[in-house]
Amino acid sequence: MKKILWISAFILTLSACQNNAKNKTEKAPQPKAETKTAKPAFDHKAYKMKGMIIAKNTFKVFKSNIQKVAAKDGLPGVVNFCHDNAMKLTDSLGKLHHVVIKRTSHKLRNPKNKPDIDDEAVLNEYLRLQEEHKPMEPVVMKDADGYVHFYAPIKLKKECLKCHGTPDKEIPEQIYKLIKSKYPNDKATGFKAGELRGIWDIKFLDMADK
């Protein structure tokens, strides 16, 4: 009888040990899966500030040069200066800031400034806002290659009507003929002061995300 009781106790003890081992196996902590740290979003505010400074400085350089040429050679000199030097100026200033500076428009004068797909989207949005009499604010976006772009509206100044207003009204006849001789396919006329003339597209070369 004692032998039977001893065997029963042994079996119960063995069973309990097996259950405990099973529970420990089931509850054993699993290795944590590696979590990838999310890449921080780029700082829109910082790029917007940089873009605004570059656009402002570029406009300042253009204005200073045009005023000097106008004082010396009048409107014909301004037309010739813009034709010969506008893109050279943006290229040199772009290299200085390590960006690509582009001025483009829905109504082109220089075909070399033709808008790309992203430019067209921004232009169309600004034109919609203009039509609805809503403010047009600068924007910052990444292109398909990961480069950061700063976009901002260029509104026509009153003094620019002499080259971008209505022919034979704000634009003198001889000046319009000179413009057409330089740009046979010119579309950049018929503007009113304060209207959207085009946009700045400033591409940051050191901000590539590849």
Instruction: Enter the tokens of residue 23.
Output: 């529970």
Q: Are 169 and 90 in contact (CB under 8 A)?
A: no
Q: Are 205 and 147 in contact (CB under 8 A)?
A: yes
The reported pLDDT for the residue numbered 30 is 56
* pTM of the complete model: 0.79
The reported pLDDT for the residue numbered 93 is 97
The reported pLDDT for the residue numbered 38 is 52
Residue ranges of the chain with pLDDT lower than 70?
A: 1-41, 207-210
C-alpha angle 112/116/117, rounded to 5°?
A: 165
CA dist 79 → 60, 94, 102 (Å): 18, 22, 19
The reported pLDDT for the residue numbered 34 is 52
The reported pLDDT for the residue numbered 43 is 85
The distance in angstroms from the start CA to the end CA of the chain is 81
Nearest to residue 90, comparing CAs of 118, 61, 110, 63? Answer: 61
Give the whole-angstrom CA distance, residue 36 versus residue 21. 35
